[in-house]
Amino acid sequence: MDNKVLIAIVAVVAVVAAACGAVVLLNHGDNGGKNTDSSILNVDSPGTIEGGTYQSVIIGPSVGDGTVIMKSVKILGDLIIRGGGSHSVELDSCEVGGTTTVEKEGGEAPRIYANNTQMSSVNAKTDTIIESSGTGGFDSVTASGGADVTVQGSDTKVDSVSMGNGTGLTVNAGSVNDVTMGDGTTMNVADGSVSNVNVGKDCSVTMQIGANGSVDTLTVADNVSVTTSGEQTEAK
C-alpha cells in the first residue's frame, strides 16, 4: 500500500477515535472518566466520576433524585445542578473554580455535600441543602427566586448567606458566620449557630431560634420589622 494512503487512513482513524472519546466524556454516566481537554461534562445519569479536569460540569435533569459522586475532579469554571436528590451531589477532594448554581425543577431538593472541598460560590435558585465535612466549607451562598436553603451537618461551615426577597434559611446544624436578610425572608435556627444577622432597610423578616440554636448579633437598618421567637442574645 502506498505510504501516503496508509498515513491518510491512520489520520482518519485517529480523528474518529478522538471524536468517539469526546462523546463518551461528554455524556458520562456510571463509569469514571478523565478529560484533560477542559471540555464540558454533561452528567445524565447517577454514578461516580473519578478524576479529570473540565471547564464546566452540568448535572442534568435526567439524573432525577439520584446520586452523583465526584472524586478528585477539577472544575475550572461552573458547576450547574439540575438533577440529584437529598443524598445527591457529593464532592470529595474536588476543586470548583466558578459558581455552583442549583436550578432543579421538581423532586427532592439537591444536597451539595462538600467533603474536603471548598465551595467558593453557590447560587441557590431552587431549594438546596448544603453540608460539608473535613476541610470543606462554603464561602458564599446566595438564595434567590423564593428558594429555601437548608444547612445541615455538625461540621458544616458557611462564611456568608445572602437571602434575596422571599427566600428562606434553615440552620439544622453547623455554623454560619454572616447572614443578610432581604424583605419577606424567613430564618429558622433550629440547631447550630449564626454569628451575625443583618436586616436591610425597609424589610420585614421573620426569625425563629430553637432551644439548641443561637444568633449572636442582630443588626437592623431603618424602617425594619423583625418578628422573632426563641432566645435572642443581642439586638442593635
Dump pLDDT digits (tens) for 156-215: 999 999 999 999 999 999 999 999 999 999 999 999 999 999 998 899 999 999 999 999
The whole-angstrom distance between residue 25's C-alpha and the CA centroid of its chain comes to 22
3-state percent breakdown (helix, strand, coil) of the chain, nearest 5 = 10, 50, 35
The CA distances from residue 62 to 5, 66, 126, 135, 210, in Å, are 44, 9, 17, 31, 38
Contacts (Cβ under 8 Å, ≥6 apart) of 116: 92, 93, 133, 134, 135, 136
CA distance 212 to 175: 12
Q: Quick one: pLDDT band at residue 224, thresholds 50, 70, 90?
A: confident
**Cα(103)–Cα(111) distance, integer angstroms:** 12
Q: Tell me, yes or no, if the pTM score tops 0.85.
A: no
Question: Which amino acid is located at 41 in the chain?
Answer: L
- Compute the average pLDDT of residues 204-229: 88
Per-residue pLDDT, 222 = 80
